[in-house]
Structures are given as C-alpha cells and as structure tokens.
C-alpha cells in the first residue's frame, strides 16, 4: 500500500513525480540513504530506528493526526488545500472463516476490544508505533469496503498493471 499511498499523495498534492516501487522496507531505506531516490512513503514502525538515529528525517505523516511518538512531525493534512482531508493509515484486523457463528464473532470482538483497552497493551503497541483502536465487525467491514474503493480508483487512475 505504500506505493498506492504515494500515488494518492502525488495526485492529491498536484505534483509530478515518478513513483518507484520497492520490494520491502529495507531496499527503499537503502535507496533513500544512498541518494537513489529523494523521498519515500513508508509505514512508521519500521522507520523508527532510522529516525531515532537521525539517519532519516520525517517530513510529514500521511495519517489523520500527529503521532505521539513524533509530536513535532506534522500530519500532511495540516498543509491545507487539497491535502486538508488527506488520510492514509494502515490498519490490522482479525478475520475468521465466513461461516463462523455470529455469537462467536461478537464474543471475539468484545474480547479483542477489552484486550486493546488494557493500558499495558496500549503502551506496548505504542512503543511499536501502533495505535490500539477497537471497532465492531460492521465498522471493519465498512472500512475494508472504503479502502477497496479508494485503492481501486488509485490503481486505475495511476494505470498500475500487474506484471
């Protein structure tokens, strides 16, 4: 999704840029540090050691708000204009087989939300630059549908083809 997020950013910002797809975080970090590329879009967690060692400098976060672990780095939407509604955040979800009984799904959802609300779990996830936020199965379904629409549009607009 990092390549798609870069395409979405370039489009929303009205920029012209060549998006270079990489096969994972280490190669893109190497390319940036080696001067082969000028900027990168990447998930925050794997970059934190590079940022903390001052090998990389974050310019903006593509998420909805600033990160508590990088409070001085603005969210891109703070730039205003076409970027005022920009928000690209990765998320994780728990899936079960489609035929799982609804009462089991609801119980799993309640238990997971209780676990994510635990202070020690929130703290540990934050140390990994992850933000614990529970939701209902219906909310996750809506989020997934929205993401599928958004990324399908970006793929078509950017003329990305499978090779």
pLDDT tens-digit series, residues 75-132:
998 988 888 888 898 888 889 999 999 999 999 999 999 999 999 999 999 888 888 8
Same domain for 78 and 150, yes or no, is no
Same domain for 141 and 97, yes or no, is yes
| pTM for the predicted model, two decimal places | 0.78
Q: Angle at Cα 118 formed by Cα 147 and Cα 65, nearest 5°?
A: 40
Same domain for 117 and 85, yes or no, is no
Domain range for 59 is: 1-90
Same domain for 97 and 151, yes or no, is yes
Q: Report the range of poorest mean pLDDT among 29-33, 38-42, 64-68, 72-76.
A: 64-68
Please identify, among 75, 90, 105, the residue that sits at the C-terminal boundary of a domain.
Answer: 90
Same domain for 71 and 114, yes or no, is no
- Number of structural domains the chain divides into: 2
């Amino acid at each position: 999704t990092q390549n798609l997020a870069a395409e979405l950013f370039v489009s929303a910002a009205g920029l012209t840029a060549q998006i270079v797809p990489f096969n994972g975080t280490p190669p893109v970090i190497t390319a940036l540090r080696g001067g082969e590329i000028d900027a990168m879009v990447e998930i925050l967690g794997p970059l934190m050691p590079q940022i903390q060692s001052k090998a990389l400098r974050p310019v903006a976060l593509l998420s909805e708000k600033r990160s508590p672990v990088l409070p001085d780095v603005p969210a891109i939407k703070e730039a205003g204009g076409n970027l005022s509604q920009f928000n690209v955040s990765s998320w994780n979800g728990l899936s079960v087989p489609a035929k799982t009984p609804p009462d089991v799904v609801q119980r799993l959802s309640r238990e997971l939300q209780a676990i994510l609300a635990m202070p020690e779990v929130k703290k540990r996830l934050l140390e990994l630059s992850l933000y614990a936020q529970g939701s209902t199965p219906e909310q996750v379904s809506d989020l997934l549908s929205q993401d599928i629409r958004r990324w399908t549009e970006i793929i078509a607009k950017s003329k990305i083809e499978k090779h």
